Structures are given as structure tokens and as C-alpha cells.
Structure 1
Amino acid sequence: MALTSRAARARSTADLALHVHDYRPDANGSRRERLTALAFIAPALLGFAVFYFWPTLRGLYFSFTEYDVFNRPVFVGLGNYRAILEDSTFWNAMLVTVEYVAINIATQTVLALLLAVLLHRLTRSVFVRSVIVLPYLIANVVVALVFYWMLDAQIGITNQVLGWLGTGPVAFFGDQNWAIPTIALVNTWRHLGYTALLLFAGMVMIPNDVYEAGRVDGASEWKMFWRITLPLLRPVLALVLVITVVGSFQAFDTVAVTTSGGPGDASRVIQYYIFDLAFQRLQFGYASAVSVVLFVILALVALVQLRLMRADQSDVA
């Protein structure tokens, strides 16, 4: 009996070993899966290499040269970067850009938070969300042109309404004090719905049990917003702020369509200054150096934002 039971255990162990061997991953299957995955991501990798990585490397090289397209690049070392330190137009463009970013981000973030809370607490209608995101789907050049006509000091409907109210016409795009705030608010209008939907998606991930516990404790909607929604929304809010800040520093098309950097240099943001250097003055080497400086600034800004807002940590249990 002992020998029989021992033989039976040996056979069962051998059968188990055979089954385990059968379930081992197939090396050829894994290789096929990797090749399939590479085939799917190859178009994106090719587009990234051709349209982003290679131009970035060439721009970095041109930043150390004098280059005007018609002649071969002449290596000047750090000459372009030293020139930036003494370029008053560059520093004015940075100040104008910072003003634009401050107005745009402040208004866009506050209004988007308010809109996202209303969507989350009052309605989750797909139709309402579609209407809210509709301005973002319109080309920025089209939006800029429509607002340019609406806010025109002579024929714009906005100034006509102000005239009916007894207020004189305002040159929204033609006044040095109004140009940047107007451009910032126009872009806020366009991006508001998209930013609100990103924040709304973050709010949906917050467990409803937390809000129910707050109601049981007698907390008002205002207190739950400050004590529950904002702390738990912090990682998503940090990501949204990085996206919006980086995007705001790259504002160009609205300025190009409406003011062309004027009046004077009042709306000459840094991206428009780079465009002016490269395609109007043909100083591609210097424009590349300014682009590299802007890239470094944006990388540092994004890093500081993520660190300060602890974007890699979540309070959702």
C-alpha cells in the first residue's frame, strides 16, 4: 500500500510538472506580441522623430550659429546666448508673455473650476458637456478673427453696445493697456470648456462616499469644495496647470491675427518675437537660441509646478 500511494504521488507530481511546462510563456508568442506592439506605435514614433526630435536637434545646433537660410551656418559658440542677455526686446517680450500668462491662467483656472463643479454637482449631461467644449473645437484663428471684428473700435458690436450704454468706444486691440488683457480673455473663452472637462474628469474619480460623509457631518457645499474637492483634485489640477501654463507661454496665432505684436511692442509675446526673428528678419540662429531659452524656462516652470503641487501623490485612498 505504501508503495502504491508513493507511486501515485510521483505520477501526480509528474503530471503537475508537465502542466506547468505547458503553461510556460511561449518565447515566439512574446516576440510576436512585441513586434505587433512596435508596429502599432511605429507611425507615432516616426512622426515624433521627423517632426519633433530631429527639428529640435537642428534648432539646438542652429542656436550656436549665425544662419539666414541663404548662406551656410557660421558657428559663433555662445554668441547668440550672450546677445540675449543684452536684448531689451527679448526681455520686454518675456514680461509681456508673463502678463498674458498670469491673466489667462488666473481667469481660466477659476472659471474652469467653477464650471467643473457645476457640471459635477448639478448635471452630468453629455449634451451640456458637448456645448461647453464646442469653442475649443473651433480653430484659434477663426476665434481671433471673430473677436477682432466684434471688438473693433469703429464697427464692432461690442463698442456699439457700449455706445448705447453711454460709454465711449474702446480700442481693445489697439490700446497698449487693453491689448494683452483682451487677447488673454479671448483665449480664455476658447479653452475654458476643455479645461473644465479635464477638471470634471478628475472630480468624477473622487468617491461619492466622501461627499456623503460630509453631508452627514453637516458640511455645506462650500466647505466640501475646500475640504474635499480641492485636496483630492490636486494631482489632476497640477497636470492641468502645467498644460495650460506651457500652452499659454506659446501663444502666437491670436497675436498674429489681431495685433501683430502691436501697438508698439505691447503685445509682442515671446513666440511672436521668435517668429519675427526667424521669418521676417531671417535671423534663424538667434531665433533658435531664443527658442532654446524658452524651452529651458518652460521645463523649469513645469518642474517647479509639479514639485510644489505634489502631482505624483494622491489623497484618494
Structure 2
Amino acid sequence: MNHVLGDKRAIILLLGPALLVYTVAMLLPVFWSVGYTFFTGNAITGFSPAGFANLQKLFTDPAVGEALVFTLKYAVIITVGQVGLGYLLSLLYVFAIKKGSSLIRTLVFFPVVLPTVAVALLFQKMFEIAPQSGVVNSAMNALGLGSIDWFGNGTSAFWVIVIMDLWRSMGFYAVLLYTGLVDIPEDILESARLDGARGFRLISTIVLPLSLPVLLSSIIFSINGTLKVFDSIVALTNGGPGSATTPLTLHMFRTSFTYGDYGYGSSIALLLTMLCLIVTLFIFRSSRRDLTKD
């Protein structure tokens, strides 16, 4: 093995095809998209040079500002919910319901494999007010409360999106974090119990520090996914009412393919890419600083 890894020709032969596919499928489209930011127009009407006008427009476009605020708010709330609920579920799997955890893990994970459109249609029916009251409004009416037009207001529509996406994704993060918890050596947990660490103290002083690497990976995975949310919002609200639930991805899509401005759409995509990189680097640096203090 050392002889093979020390041979440059063998390394090129082994890694070359994978690097070629990655370059063609990932890197070239990224550079192509960055190149579009210096032009205006599309493939049908043609392109004309725009210089830095598209990038300058990002800082003055109120639609971009509104979409950016929504994206950040959605990403923070969903990431905290996904990882937090997933971690709580994983703790239950390991410490509370050991024997029946396989069946429960399967049931909680099941929404992850459902099609996004099917889940969105389910929640539309659950929260609808017309042509007939959905399950949620019917339950509120049974309690003597009035019906709410959940999708007619930006705030209520946002929370329906949050509920739907947390329901869909918490099972995935529960399984992901569960794999980190089961790797904690049992003798360490037993030693901590003998020293009197139980319940919350055991989790906060032993389990949480030892599961920090997989927890950090889950946070990075979640924040990058939520910053790039697209399908669930399109399927449930299509960015409405108005543009109240429009993230950067949907605004980029409409700018590029509905309004035919590839250059400005690529500029929005570049903003989203830089946002993902900045957030990821911030999480890495913060976690490294905490580890250094410890």
C-alpha cells in the first residue's frame, strides 16, 4: 500500500477520473456562473457586458434584502430545531427506550423518505381554511377558537413551513446523532455513574463533550442545507403570500428563469455561496477556539 501511495503515476491513475468528473460537474459550472455576473441578458436574447453593475445592485435591491433576512431567519430556526430535536431523540434512543428504539427510529425517520411535494400537499390540507377547514382549523373551532388563514399571512405561513420541515428532518438528525452517541465507550459512562454523574449531569459533563464532533458536523450540514432551501417552500407556499416566504434560492430562480436575467441571478447565487462559506468558517473557527480553551 505504501508503495502504491508513493507512486505519483498510481495516484494520478486512481484520483484522476474522480477529479475530472468533479471538475466538470462541480467546478466548471461554478466558474461559469461567476462569469455570468459580469453580463446581463440570457441565452435567448443574448448577453451584453454589465461590469460590476449586477454586484452593486445586490446592495440596493430591497427584494434581495428581504429574501436574505428570510433565509437567515429560516436557517437559524430550522438548524436549532433540527439539531436540537434530533439530539433529544437520539438521547432517548440510547438512554430511555433502548429495546424499542429500532422501531421508533424507523417511524420517526419515515418522513425523510417521503416526496417533498406529497408532504407539502399534506400540510396544505391540514392548515387550509378554504374550500373547507383543514384539521388544524377544525380542531381550533372545536375548542371554540376562530379559524386562521395560515397561508394568507407571512408570519403564520413561515411557522407552517418551520413545522413541516422540522417534522420531515428531525428523524434524519436523530439517526445521525445516534451514531455518535453509540460510539461513546460504555466503560466511560459506567465510571461516570459510579462517580455519581446521572441524568442531566451525565449528559452535560460526559455525553455532550464526547459527542461534540458529530454534533458539530450536524450543525454544519444543517445550516448549509437550510441556507439553500428551495423545494419545500416552492411546494408549500411558492414564496407567498407575496414575497413573504421567498428565500434567496427562489429569488435567484425567478430572476434567472422567469425574468430571464442570468447575470443578476448568478450574482444572487454568488451571494448565497459566500454566505454558506462564511457561516461554515465561523462555525469551524468558533469550535476550534472552544477546543483550544478546553
With structure 2 as the length reference, what TM-score do the two structures score? Answer: 0.89
Which letter does structure 2 place at the counterpart of 1:165?
L
CA contact (8 A) 1:234 1:311 kept: no
- Identical pairs, percent: 28
Is the CA contact 2:116–2:235 (under 8 Å) kept in the aligned structure 1?
no
Which of 52, 58, 68 is the aligned partner of 1:94? Answer: 68
Moved more, 260-269 or 124-133: 124-133
Is residue 246 of structure 1 aligned with residue 220 of structure 2? no
Instruction: Tell me by how many angstroms 1:311 deviates.
Output: 9.4
Alignment-derived partner of residue 120 in structure 2: 144
CA contact (8 A) 1:153 1:169 kept: yes
What residue in structure 2 maps to residue 117 of structure 1? 91
Where does 1:12-161 land on structure 2 (aligned, <5 Å)?
37-38=14-15, 42=17, 45=19, 47-122=21-96, 123=98, 125-154=101-130, 155=132, 156-161=134-139
**Further displaced range: 300-309 or 169-178:** 169-178
1:212 and 2:201 correspond: no
RMSD (Å), alpha carbons: 2.6
Question: Could you tell me how far 1:263 is from its partner in structure 2?
Answer: 1.2
Structure 1 unaligned residues grouped into runs of 5+: 1-23
Residue aligning to 2:259: 281
SS of the equivalent of 2:108 reads helix
Q: Would you say the 8 A contact 1:67–1:285 is kept in 2?
A: yes
Q: 1:264 aligns with which of 221, 229, 242?
A: 242
Alignment check: 8 A CA contact 1:101 1:184 kept: no
> Structure 1 residues 276, 193: CA separation in 2 closer, same or farther (over 3 Å shift)?
same
String of CA shifts for 1:100-121, please: whole Å, max 9, x gaps: 1122122222211110101111
1:313 Cα deviation after fit: 6.0
What's 1:183 paired with? Answer: 161
Q: Deviations over 1:240-277 (max 9, x none)?
A: 10110110011111221222211122101111111110
Residues in 1 aligned to 2:2 and 2:82: alpha-carbon distance in whole angstroms = 51
Q: Which 5+ residue runs of structure 2 have no aligned equivalent?
A: none
Deviation of 1:56 (Å)? 1.1
Q: Summarize the Cα distance change of 1:258–1:26 in structure 2 as closer, same or farther, 3 Å threshold.
A: closer
User: SS where residue 201 of structure 1 aligns?
Assistant: helix
1:201 aligns with 2:179: yes
Rg comparison, structure with higher value: 1
Q: Compared with structure 1, are the counterparts of its residues 46 and 161 closer, same or farther at alpha carbon in structure 2 (3 Å cutoff)?
A: farther
Q: Distance in 2 between matches of 1:109 and 1:116?
A: 10
